[in-house]
């Protein structure tokens, strides 16, 4: 059974510092992995999708890496800003339909 | 930019009542999903829907739940007889393909009293 874990559960950094968010999964037979941002009481905003055949995906200040064999993905956010404060979720797809989510990392970027 | 929309944003109901949550997926998407998030817990998959039928469902999605695409634009989740433990945020999502990016709506907060 797939388990998705995100460590740490919470993170506070000063503005300008790079953010490193970790996601691990127990079953490496995944189709893809998606990173989301969730603001309090709001929906999920898709940040990046990385397919199982890819090692890396970039969008602006965001870069996600995937090491399928070791069951890990890392989301890097360069030069963090207060507007990056949110909860970041990773989710893996290892069956036809569903995404399976981690519990998230709550990020606070202080000015 | 196209987005998934959901109505209502907040629904309050009495235990045992039926509720219908509505979603309008992105117009060229073919795959539709419902997820829920109980306060303080992980987002959980409920059901996926393609070609007018359920393609996958979780153990949460029991006989009390049903989904429908009543026309070319709406996708609905019905809970027949709500329980207190159904209180959660319900998210609709859609994608162009089963292995493609899923886009989520803003959610409907369901409160069962």
Find the CB nearest B91 among A41, A43, A95: A43
Q: Is B69 on the interface with A (CB under 8 A)?
A: no
Find chain A residues with C-beta within 8 A of B91's C-beta: 43-44
What are the tens digits of pLDDT across the range A17-43?
999 999 999 999 999 999 999 998 889
Per-residue pLDDT tens listing for chain B (113 residues)? 889 999 999 999 999 999 999 999 999 999 999 999 999 999 999 999 999 999 999 999 999 999 999 888 999 999 999 999 999 999 999 999 988 999 999 999 999 99
Q: Of A97, A92, A58, A96, which Cα lies nearest the Cα of A78?
A: A58
Give dist(CA B105, CA A97) in Å, integer.
17
Find chain B residues with C-beta within 8 A of A34's C-beta: 101-102
What are the tens digits of pLDDT across the range A90-105?
999 987 779 999 999 9
- Which residue in the block uniquely carries the two structure tokens 């493609």? B100
Residue A89 predicted with pLDDT over 80: yes
Give the number of beta-carbon pairs within 8 Å between A and B. 59
The conformation of residue B85, written as its DSSP 8-state character, comes to G
Q: Is B11 on the interface with A (CB under 8 A)?
A: no
- Which residue in the block uniquely carries the two structure tokens 């503005």? A15
Give dist(CA B17, CA A3) in Å, integer.
34
Give dist(CA A13, CA A67) in Å, integer.
26
Biggest alpha carbon distance in chain A?
A: 42
What are the tens digits of pLDDT across the range A55-85?
999 999 999 999 999 999 999 999 999 999 9
Provide φ and ψ at B85, rounded to 5°: -75, -5
The conformation of residue A68, written as its DSSP 8-state character, comes to T
**A100–B103: do the CB atoms touch at under 8 Å?**
no
């Amino acid at each position: 059974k797939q388990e998705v874990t995100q460590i740490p559960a919470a993170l506070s950094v000063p503005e300008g510092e790079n953010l490193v968010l970790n996601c691990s999964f127990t079953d490496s037979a995944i189709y893809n992995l998606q990173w989301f941002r969730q603001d309090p009481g709001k929906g999920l905003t898709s940040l990046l999708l990385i397919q199982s055949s890819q090692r890396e995906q970039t969008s602006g200040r965001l870069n996600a890496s995937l090491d399928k064999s070791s069951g890990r993905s890392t989301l890097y956010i360069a030069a963090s800003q207060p507007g990056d404060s949110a909860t970041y979720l990773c989710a893996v797809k290892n069956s036809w339909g569903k995404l399976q989510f981690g519990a998230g990392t709550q990020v606070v970027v202080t000015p | 930019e196209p987005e998934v929309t959901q109505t209502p944003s907040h629904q309050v109901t009495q235990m045992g009542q039926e509720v219908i949550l509505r979603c309008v997926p992105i117009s060229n998407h073919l795959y539709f999903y419902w997820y829920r998030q109980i306060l303080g817990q992980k987002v959980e998959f409920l059901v996926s829907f393609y070609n007018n039928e359920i393609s996958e469902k979780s153990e949460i999605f029991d006989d009390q739940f049903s989904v429908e695409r009543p026309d070319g634009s709406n996708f609905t989740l019905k809970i027949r007889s709500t329980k207190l433990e159904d209180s959660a945020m319900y998210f609709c999502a859609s994608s162009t393909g089963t292995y493609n990016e899923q886009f989520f709506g803003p959610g409907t907060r369901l409160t069962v009293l």
